[in-house]
Amino acid sequence: MTDDRGRVLQVGPLMPSLAETLRGTYGALVLPDGGDERAAFLAARGSEVVAAVTSGRAGVGTGLMTALPRLGAVINFGVGYDTTDVALARSRGVKVSHTPDVLTDCVADTALGLTLDLLRGLSAADRFVRAGRWPEAGTFPLMRRVSGARVGILGLGRIGRAIATRFAAMGCPISYHSRHEVPGTGHVYAPSPVELAAAVDVLVVATSGGAGTRGLVDRSVLKALGPRGYLINIARGTVVDEDALVEMLTAGELAGAGLDVFAAEPQVPDALLGMDNVVLLPHLASGTLETRAEMERLTLGNLASFLGGGDLLTPVPELR
């Protein structure tokens, strides 16, 4: 046991082994879920906390950060940190870390898996077999080819590039839109999300979340993707206008969607649950034993580094 007792705060659920290390090694406090208990906790203990360990599910938003006057670092389990108020962190000199790179491959694998499942109808075909429909129907409807399909990637960061590599190996022409053209990729740059969507069969959303990308995939982008186009989202639900997406899927104005993320997780719009041209995942993209162990290691590495000398191993880009 170090003398960090009470200085570390767990915010929101974390994987059990990580929560256990925080408690056992650092004597971490756990922020109550909400209501009066949370307010009383913050009034009594908030001023002791120097490091908050959280994930994208909870984050340290404006209200919580304000209630932690000595906070020096937010240690985020996950690459996305859109639930933490980075602007307030910057203005207060609070450091923020995340877990880039270690999850890139698994998230990209999930984007590929969702695309294969959606275009070939794998989950729908599994339901078809389990429901005993094969003998009477004879065959499963013909689906769409993935190899060679035109793939558009919205957000060509680390994860976007790993997704591009996978589809390129399947002979898919790749185009992308990012805030800036990325030199030397060999992929075609589209000047806007609408132009990207209009040029592809599959649009993969791989941007970061947060205010800057909220609603980036709006109705006009989905219209440009059109009734033969598929949307894949492994980024954040907030990047897509979910109401427009549901409406257009219902009206047959999009071919289908593969979604690992939603606007108000864990809520999934009811209308999607009965659709066979939709694949729905419970935000599992980084969820493998290997990757989560690496994320845990990096999270604890950031915490130890901050408590030991004030620096973070992997600060978020805005605060480097």
Find the catalytic residue in 48, 195, 247, 265. Answer: 265
* Residue bearing tokens 């915010």: 11
Per the annotation, the verdict on 265 as an active-site residue is yes
Residue with smaller CB distance to ligand 8YV, 187 or 292:
292
The CA distance from 237 to 263, in Å, is 4
Candidates 77-85, 142-150, 268-276, 301-309 — which segment interacts with ligand 8YV by CB under 6 A? Answer: 77-85
Of 76-84, 121-129, 155-163, 216-224: span binding ligand 8YV (CB under 6 A): 76-84
Chain residues 14-43 in contact with ligand 8YV, contact rule CB under 6 A? none
Q: Which residues of 243-258 are buried (b: 16+ CB within 10 A; e: fewer)?
A: ebbbebbeeebbbbbb
| Token pair belonging to 212 | 């800057």
Note if 214 is an active site residue: no
Q: Is the dihedral of CA 302, 46, 78, 84 positive or negative?
A: negative
Which phi and psi angles does 54 have, rounded to 5°?
Answer: -150, -175
Kindly identify the residues of this chain, within the stretch 112-131, that bind ligand 8YV according to CB under 6 A. Answer: none
**Amino acid letter for position 22:** L
Rounded least distance, CB 240 to ligand 8YV, Å = 15
Contact residue for ligand 8YV among 21, 52, 54, 56 (CB under 6 A) = 56
Task: Tell me the closest approach of the beta carbon of residue 105 to ligand 8YV, in angstroms.
Answer: 12
Residue nearest to ligand 8YV (CB): 78
Pick from 9, 79, 279, 312: which binds ligand 8YV (CB under 6 A)? 79
**What b/e string do you get for 42-64 counting C-beta neighbours within 10 Å, with b at 16 or more?**
beeebeebbbbbbbbbbbbeeeb
Catalytic: 236? Answer: yes
What mask, x for binding ligand 8YV by CB under 6 A, covers residues 153 to 192?
A: ----------------------------------------
Query: Shortest distance, CB of residue 113 to ligand 8YV, whole angstroms?
Result: 15
Across 150-255, where does the E strand assignment appear? 151-154, 174-177, 188-189, 202-205, 230-233
Residues 6+ apart with CB under 8 A from 103: 78, 79, 285, 286, 291, 294, 295
Chain positions contacting ligand 8YV, by CB under 6 A: 55-57, 77-80, 103, 283, 286
Residues annotated as catalytic are 236, 265, 283
